[in-house]
Structure 1
């Protein structure tokens, strides 16, 4: 292994492990073995549908075995090595993810939106040796990221899918050819080793990486499938980024573990989604976060589309305004269920046929009987009564006990007895003898732009590299579709040309920042507000931009009238 997991992963306590195994939640099988077992059990059933393939479980297993065997001969990667993924929603992504697990490699999930800076930081943090990239994504942008990371030594091996590899890289097709017809070596990882690395909320100078271990990640996916009642008759349409905890733990893995089928859409284009619904008749549609669901509401084709095959419409990942929840249920006429989850682990889900006060006003209850969910006064660490606002704390059989190589983060984000302090504000609602939870804000200085979290300090640091900027503060501003977007308040040095949204974006792009982190509003000020203890008052800035947006909305309404 490049870096010893023993030194950098916070383990589950022995007594918790014993209980999870005694109750049958953890079953003593690695993630790869569990997924291989599923392929063997459901051989002739359809496993994966993309615009280019329609594979049975047997077809998929053959592709996975070829990749796993090919890795051994076409590269010098060894079991335990970390392999980063920067791929879109393709069959190659699925094969390479499962094949990497089969070969004993540890997938590191990044997003296609990430730039060289984010990928490089993450590679260094987890000790990654390889990067799998999609050559035809974004006009070749990902290929250039990979080329640069190899050139500067951040990555030793680049594997290029869906186009010819650059000099020094290895082709995905080359790996498949080398492994075709060859039985991959048997790899038996230690069950307390990391199976998959998931990125939590973005990267700063010290990335927050969730190390998902074998038994708990299997159980996470199995529990989700059980909570939704997925069977071999289930067809899941998934249009959001696959290489994300939502895509892996809410879609791909639970589909395979339950013998269901996944229809993998290339993207979240509404026309494309509606075409796939008409052609494939999916039964389950998870849209996490709800931005795509909101676009679906307003699309001109939706009202005439036949959505009757969908018996589960799962929306969540962030606070869903009550008005939007009502519209999603009533206008789309699909059985709405809300959920809330995170890369750190715990998932909440509303039950089927729930009353309005549950399905419209909460994100449901935890999906495992051994999940422990609390609402706590963040100052005292004591539970608050039902209905009162507090911080959501959680612990359980698939919630991590600490971030990878991050003692500073862990000291702030985990209690002494292992509860994850989410930073989300919420309430516990005791309804008919069951505790349901709502999410009502955050106490962290993090901008929740759809499913992606933007750390303000990272963006501010890069803004301040421009010497024309005296001070900078990046805060959230409300957005009806994404939940929040970023607004930058800047104080420019005397005589400097003020930044615009466009020029600030050019500056951030020059430093390799992912585009989704760019502020989408810029406000120039003579000074920034301070709190009564002399610190920057982000609350005052958030309130100010909210007032500006509200005034602009009123002005536009009057103009339209």
Structure 2
């Protein structure tokens, strides 16, 4: 029986110019030209404030958590203009940014647009840098402060962030807070009382498109965070390429509700898309973490959406809630036309669960898409904007050329376009190797065609070069691609996994369990997690699925030798899990060193599923191992 149709969603036709070069490299470029209507984000905000001044632009829960506090486009524009005028009067040293040490909030947005309007770069930093680093001397925050040398540090919660600011703020930095603070500081309310003059309009009109507009921090998964320079040209190019292929279908001019942090590019992108395309953006204080996702569910019961975005871990939690809550199902699927996932591949069983719920509620499926990019490409610059049910990274959007350089059975990806960064702040050695001889940015990932005979079907992610490592045999392992495959293979038994094996004789897995998936597998309800993990049905399911995976594997770079569950959740304070809900593999391995040693013990202990040992009856004659 054929699958039900997707709910209506319209994409432009795929039309690529494909060049195959003598060295085997392939360059793909969309034929459709990139069309940009606003020269800067502040100009886009000004346009919306003039077109629809009374429309709600931003909404957030007040301190008591009841109802929504909302502000219109006109109100956001007026407050941002006050900040712009204040910064023009302050006249900070060129290039020194406004550091925004805050979660997502209306005040955060006002500070960002006000600083951008003044031509002062913004550097949004997760509050976790200030709230979770006291014992270590706020090392991560100190590194960022030393790197970007902020002229102004805005901390919405001056009380909570005060100790960190006192410890790391450079001499001469002005401290700006949203409320009480023990440090000498200026209140945001006083800044917002600044009357904007004609200089504000003139400054926004004269913004240099290639001057730094933001310093966006990399995740630091392979070292200390770097500050990526983003310009107004980059940001508007990226926003408009997304608008041309996804934004109209997604309803960026309609209603959005998101939790993704604005200190990362994915969250920053969506909030700025709402600003320049005229959307109402509800700020979700929830996160895809135990105890934090209930807030997202509460918000989704109240706010119908055409478009929803999350990481796979968030979709897993959402599927659990949708299956148990009829009111949530009805509201969530009422207007929904498009869902986007990012950060990792979406496991097929999870995709099937959500589509089954959509079909039950509406009679149709809802299209899933994804974006692909990096902080250095502003945000996602490739996407699935064509009908496909294959998990992948899509195709380049207008304005982007992608070069694919042969690398064994894969291609290394390189990119060129106006959304690509000019470089890292104060990193000349890195900047010297950022691009190849044709000026294509080396993003560090690999990909394959889903169908080499038909490139229009898009690309599949094939691994991150930085996540590759060698077994002690010298065999290379593509850790990122393998992790995505394993999560899909073991779904819904596990939530995520750590791939182990560097300089070891074989691969092994540490995995965080998905309690609800395990309960369904065992047919039990209310069983303690420790008992679930030891349940024979769970052991057999893990062993059987990994055995099937190993049987289909091409060699030791994919075969799994041992498996163990982790019972301690990923630790956000230790930066083991990012603000986006993704696992930092390198930090996880450092923190779980004892668990990794147990995986490789000569005799596996309790709780370790050993796929290396074979029953005696299966050993060939003379095999003494």
User: TM-score normalized by structure 1?
Assistant: 0.70
SS of the residue 2:83 aligns to: helix
- Which of 345, 364, 374 is the equivalent residue of 1:319? 345
Whether contact under 8 Å (1:337, 1:350) holds in the other structure is yes
Q: Secondary structure at the match of 1:190?
A: coil
Q: Go from structure 1 to structure 2 and tell me whether the alpha carbon gap of 1:58 and 1:274 turns closer, same or farther (over 3 Å shift).
A: same
Shift, 1:315, TM fit? 0.7
Shift of 1:229: 3.6
Is 1:113 the counterpart of 2:183? The answer is no
For 1:522, the equivalent position in structure 2 comes to 592
Aligned-pair CA distance for 1:200: 2.0
Distance 1:184 1:408, change over 3 A: same
Partner residue, 1:337: 369
TM-aligned CA distance change 1:433 to 1:265, over 3 Å: same
Structure-2 change in CA distance of 1:207 and 1:549 (3 Å)? farther
Residues 1:284 and 2:307 aligned together? yes
TM-superposed deviation, 1:420: 2.0
Counterpart position of 2:192:
176
Displacement after TM superposition at 1:344 (Å): 1.3
1:296 corresponds to 2:325 = no
Indicate the residue corresponding to 2:549 in structure 1.
none
Q: 1:28 to 1:507 in 2, by over 3 A?
A: closer
Distance 1:184 1:397, change over 3 A: same
The offset of 1:398, in angstroms, is 0.9
After TM superposition, the structure 1 stretch with the greater mean CA deviation from structure 2, 222-231 or 47-56, is: 222-231
Match of 1:535 in 2: none
Q: 1:123–1:155: 8 Å Cα contact kept in structure 2?
A: no
Displacement of 1:550 in angstroms is 12
Secondary structure of the corresponding residue to residue 341 of structure 2: strand
Equivalent-residue separation in structure 1 for 2:308 and 2:349 (angstroms): 21
For 1:388-403, what aligned pairs fall within 5 Å after superposition?
388-403=409-424
Structure 1 residue 255 corresponds to structure 2 residue 274: yes
Contact 1:489 1:522 in 2 (8 A): no
For the residue of structure 2 that corresponds to 1:391, the secondary structure is: strand
1-structure distance, mates of 2:345, 2:599:
19
Task: Report if aligned partners of 1:71, 1:175 keep a CA contact under 8 Å in 2.
Answer: no
Greater gyration radius: 2
Partner Cα separation in structure 2 for residue 429 and residue 68 of structure 1 = 48
How far residue 424 of structure 1 moved from its aligned partner, in angstroms, is 1.8
Paired with 1:507 and 1:349, the residues of 2 have a C-alpha distance of 32
Q: For 2:78 and 2:573, locate their aligned partners in 1 and report how far apart those are by CA, in whole Å.
A: 46
- Specify the SS of the correspondent of 1:519: helix
1:28 and 1:215 in contact (8 A); partners too: no
Give the aligned partner of residue 265 of structure 1. Answer: 284
Asked whether the equivalents of residues 38 and 256 of structure 1 are also in contact (C-alpha less than 8 Å), the reply is yes
Q: Indicate the SS of the match to 1:397.
A: coil
* 2:217/2:227 contact within 8 Å kept: yes
1:267 Cα deviation from its structure 2 partner: 2.6
**Distance in 1 (alpha carbons) for counterparts of 2:348 and 2:464:** 18
Quote the Cα distance in structure 1 between the aligned partners of 2:572 and 2:382: 39
**In the alignment, which of 51, 58, 76 is matched to residue 60 of structure 1?**
76
Partner of 2:522: none
> 1:407 aligned to 2:417?
no
The CA deviation at 1:173 is 1.9
371, 374, 378: which is aligned to 2:403?
Answer: 374
CA displacement 1:124-149 (0-9 Å, x = unmatched): 2233222212317xxx5433222222
Tell me how far apart the structure 1 counterparts of residues 188 and 234 of structure 2 sit (CA, whole Å).
30
The alpha-carbon deviation at position 59 of structure 1 amounts to: 1.8
Aligned-partner SS, 2:75: helix
Q: Work out the CA distance in 2 between the residues paired with 1:30 and 1:549.
A: 59
Which range moved further: 192-201 or 204-213?
204-213
The alignment partner of 2:339 has SS state of strand
Q: Are residues 1:129 and 2:151 paired?
A: yes
Counterpart Cα distance in 1 of 2:252 and 2:468:
39
**Residue in 2 that maps onto 1:348:** 382
Work out whether residues 47 and 256 of structure 1, in 8 Å CA contact, stay in contact via their aligned partners in 2.
yes
How far apart, CA to CA, are the structure 2 residues paired with 1:111 and 1:375?
A: 34
Contact 2:403–2:440 (Cα < 8 Å) also in 1: no
Q: Write the deviation string for residues 145-168 of structure 1: whole angstroms up to 9, x where unpaired.
A: 222223xx367122122x302222
> 1:339 offset after TM fit, Å?
2.2
**Matched residues in 1 for 2:606 and 2:315: separation?**
24
Matched-pair contact (CA < 8 Å) for 2:176–2:185: yes
* Alpha carbons 2:98, 2:152 under 8 Å: kept: yes
Q: 1:331-366: CA deviations, max 9, x gaps?
A: 4554322222211115222126x232xxx3222212
From 49, 73, 77, give the equivalent of 1:39.
Answer: 49
Compare 56-65 and 38-47 and name the one that shifted more: 38-47
In structure 2, relative to structure 1, the CA distance for the partners of 1:400 and 1:134 (3 Å cut) is: same
The question of whether the paired residues in 2 share the 8 Å contact of 1:239 and 1:267 is answered with: yes
Equivalent-residue separation in structure 2 for 1:318 and 1:108 (angstroms): 25
Deviation at 1:28, TM superposition (A): 7.8
Q: Give the structure 2 partner of residue 213 of structure 1.
A: 231
The residue number in structure 1 matching 2:119 is: 104
- Going from structure 1 to structure 2, the CA distance change for 1:147 and 1:486 (only over 3 Å counts) comes to farther
Partner of 1:450: none
SS at 2:281 equivalent: strand
Q: SS where residue 274 of structure 1 aligns?
A: helix
SS of residue matched to 1:118: helix
1:236 paired to 2:271: no
Q: Deviations over 1:429-468 (max 9, x none)?
A: 3475515111132220499xxxxxxxxxxxxxxxxxxxxx
Cα offsets for 1:479-538 (capped at 9, x unmatched): 857755598999xxxxxxxxx999xx99979xxxxx98653753349xx9xxxxxxxxxx
Structure 1 contact 63–176 (Cα < 8 Å) conserved = yes
Aligned to 1:8: none
Whether 2:168 is the aligned partner of 1:149: answer yes
1-side partners of 2:424 and 2:396: how far apart?
Answer: 21
The more displaced of 64-73 and 126-135 is 64-73
Q: Any idea what SS the aligned residue of 1:377 has?
A: strand
Unaligned runs of 5+ in 1: 1-18, 379-383, 448-474, 491-499, 510-514, 529-540, 556-561
Q: Tell me if the contact between 1:240 and 1:267 (Cα under 8 Å) persists in the aligned partners.
A: no
CA distance in 1, matches of 2:353, 2:38: 44
Aligned partner of 1:226 among 244, 248, 260: 244
2: distance between equivalents of 1:220 and 1:428?
A: 24
CA contact (8 A) 1:78 1:105 kept: no
What is the CA–CA distance in structure 1 between the aligned matches of 2:572 and 2:434, rounded to whole Å?
A: 34
2 CA distance for matches of 1:506 and 1:50? 24
